[in-house]
Each structure stands twice: as C-alpha cells, then as structure tokens.
Amino acid sequence: MNTLYRITKFLTSAAHLSQAPADSGFEVAFAGRSNSGKSSAINALCDQSALCRTSKTPGRTQLLNFFRIDDERRLVDLPGYGYAKVPELVQQQWQGFMIDYLTHRTCLRGLILLMDIRHPLTDYDLNMLDWSAVRGLPIHILLTKADKFNRGPAMAQLYNVRERLHRPAGEVSVQLFSALKRQGIDQAHAVLDDWLALPAPPRSPEAL
Ligand code: GDP
C-alpha cells in the first residue's frame, strides 16, 4: 500500500466553486450515491478510521469536501446523491454544483465512481459517466462492498459492468473493492498515484 495517503487531512468544505481551494495542482474526486460506501472507501484508501465521517448528516453531505495530501494534491468528496431526507430541489442544486465542478475544475484529473456491487449503474451513475465523457475525464469504478458476494458472483458482476460500459478501456476502468476486507486497495492506489502524479511506493526487496 502507498503509505503517502496516510498523511491526508481535511482541508475545507465548499458550497460553491468559488469557495474551493485554488484550481492548481492535482485533484481526484470521489462520487457515488448515498450509502454506496464512499466514506468507508476514502477512509480505507487513506488508512484512517475517521477522515471522512460515515454519518449521514445532510448539512455535511451537501458540500464538496476537500482533503489535502500535500501542497499540490487533493482528494475531493463530492455530495452523495439520493439521500432520502433531502428534498428533490436541493438534490437538483447539488447536481448543478457537481456538474459545475466536473466541467470547470482544471486540476481535476479523474473521477472515482463508487457503486454498491449489488446495485451498479443506476441512473445517477450513468449521468456521472456522461458528464465525465463530455470533458474526456477518466473514470475508475469501485464496485464496493464486494465482500457481500462470493468470489464467483463478484467476478461475474465485474465482467457484467465492464460489458455494459460504452467508453474505451483507457477512459473507464472497473475493479472490486471492499473497505471491510481491505480488498482492492493497492489496485485503487495505483490509479490514484497515476492521476495525482505521485511517486510509486518503495518496493520491498523481494518484489524487485
Ligand atoms: P456513503 O454514504 O457512500 O459515504 O457510505 P458509507 O461509507 O457511510 O457506508 C454505507 C454503509 O455501507 C455503512 O453501513 C457501511 O458500514 C457499509 N459499508 C461500507 N463499506 C462496506 C464494505 O466494504 N463492506 C460491507 N459489508 N459494508 C460496507
């Protein structure tokens, strides 16, 4: 695992693009429906138990939350979509803000899209795929809570999702992920390292 992510710290929240940190360096955003396992995945990837709170307070979930890895690199938690207690109009406003961010944020290098392995490719997910395609932004999909399935059905769902994506393999990739079992962390880190232009972790002598 790339231990650089352990130093990630909460930086700031933004309700509008104007409140976001300066648009420089490298950013990777995380998107997913409410309850898709987004907070748990960010915590697992940063090897911290409470970086991203897993509680569902609407006040927090409607903001873009920025996390700092170093002066040049940030992770961004986009508002979870579909939180049941939030009115439709407010959901639409969040979506507008997200589209604004996805369309105009120059330092954004890629989007990690989280889907519960039991319910992939919802309308929300398809919209996110479309919005990133408009800009040519690469997407990496984490099929979360993979521990809910045995290996066979999990692999079948992975192939099924790959088949249903209609973008070139270089633009969209998919993997199995479980924050609970810490499955898929190295694979997800490899994508983040690439997008954030992070140096590769030192390899153990046996791996050389
Ligand atoms: P978010 O709303 O997308 O941020 O989702 P959370 O990270 O808060 O997770 C939503 C629910 O799914 C919580 O009850 C988590 O405990 C559960 N969950 C998250 N990741 C996993 C996982 O890898 N395996 C299992 N079995 N449950 C998970």
pLDDT number for residue 200: 67
pLDDT (mean) for 18-30: 96
> Each residue of 100-127: pLDDT tens digit?
899 899 999 999 999 999 999 998 899 8
> Each residue of 136-193: pLDDT tens digit?
899 999 999 999 999 999 999 999 999 999 777 678 999 999 999 999 999 999 999 9
pLDDT number for residue 198: 85
180 C-alpha vs ligand 1 centroid, how far in Å?
A: 8
pLDDT number for residue 143: 98
Res. 59 pLDDT band, cuts 50 70 90: low
Residue type, 207: A
72 C-alpha vs ligand 1 centroid, how far in Å?
A: 29
The domains of the chain, with CATH numbers, are: 3-200 (3.40.50.300)
- Choose between 184 and 18: higher pLDDT: 184
Whether the CB-CB separation of 27 and 105 falls below 8 Å is answered with yes
Is the CB of residue 187 below 6 angstroms from any atom belonging to ligand 1?
no
> Using CB atoms within 10 A of its CB, is residue 67 exposed (0-12), middle (13-18) or buried (19+)?
buried
Q: Does residue 83 surpass a pLDDT of 80?
A: no
Q: Whose CA is nearest to atom 15 of ligand 1?
A: 37
Is the CB of residue 36 below 6 angstroms from any atom belonging to ligand 1?
yes
Is the CB of residue 46 below 6 angstroms from any atom belonging to ligand 1?
no
Name the DSSP class of 2.
-
Ligand 1: which of 30, 39, 40, 177 to mutate, judged by most atoms within 8 Å of the beta carbon?
Answer: 40
